[in-house]
Amino acid sequence: MIDFNQNDFNLMKIRHETKFGNLTTRQKYRIYGLRQQENPPILIEYNDDCEDTDEFTERLDALVKYFKSNGIEVETFDGSESERIDIGLRKDLRGIVNKHDQPLFASSILSTIVYCLEGRIDLKQMAKYKLANIPKLPVRVTE
C-alpha cells in the first residue's frame, strides 16, 4: 500500500504518473513533501526492526549508490517510529516538469525507489551507469 500526502505540491500528479494505484507491495509506504533548503532531495525513513535487515539494507545501499553516481543526494534514516517506509521528496525535485507540465522526473525517481526496495529491480550492478540529462538540483543548505 502506498499513501501520498495530498496537500503537498505536485504529489497527486506524481501519484498519477507512477501508476501506483493498484500496485501491491510487501511494505507500507508513505510519500510526502520536504521543505526546500533544510532537507536532502530524497529522504528515506524506515524502522530497522520491521525490515528484513540484510536484504533490505543491500537494496537500500545499492539504491543510494545508484542515485549518488547520478548526482542525486539520498539520505536514509533507520530510526523511524513508524512500521512503514516514509519517502520524502524535496519541493524543487517535485517541481521539475516536462514540456507537458508533468513531473516525470520525480515520478521516475519514486518508481525506481519503490521497485528497488520491493526487490523488483536490482540496482547492485547499476551504480556505475550514468544517466543522461539529469537536472542539477540545488545543494541543500545546512547550518
What is the domain partition of the chain in residue ranges?
Answer: 2-117
Rounded-to-integer distance, Cα 64 and Cα 127, Å? 9
DSSP three-state, residue 98: coil
Residues 6+ apart with CB under 8 A from 63: 74, 112, 113, 116, 117, 123
Rounded-to-integer distance, Cα 123 and Cα 39, Å? 24
Q: Quickly state the pLDDT bin for 143 (edges 50, 70, 90).
A: low
- Which stretches of 1-143 are assigned E, i.e. beta strand? 2-4, 29-34, 42-45, 74-77, 85-90
| 7-18 tens-digit pLDDT | 999 999 999 999
| 65-121 tens-digit pLDDT | 999 988 899 999 988 888 899 999 999 899 988 888 899 999 999 999 999 999 899
pTM reported for the whole predicted model: 0.89
Rounded-to-integer distance, Cα 54 and Cα 45, Å? 16
In degrees, rounded to 5, the angle at the alpha carbon of residue 5 between the alpha carbons of residues 64 and 117 is 30
Q: How many other C-beta atoms are found inside a 10 Å radius of the C-beta of residue 74?
A: 19
Q: How many other C-beta atoms are found inside a 10 Å radius of the C-beta of residue 70?
A: 15
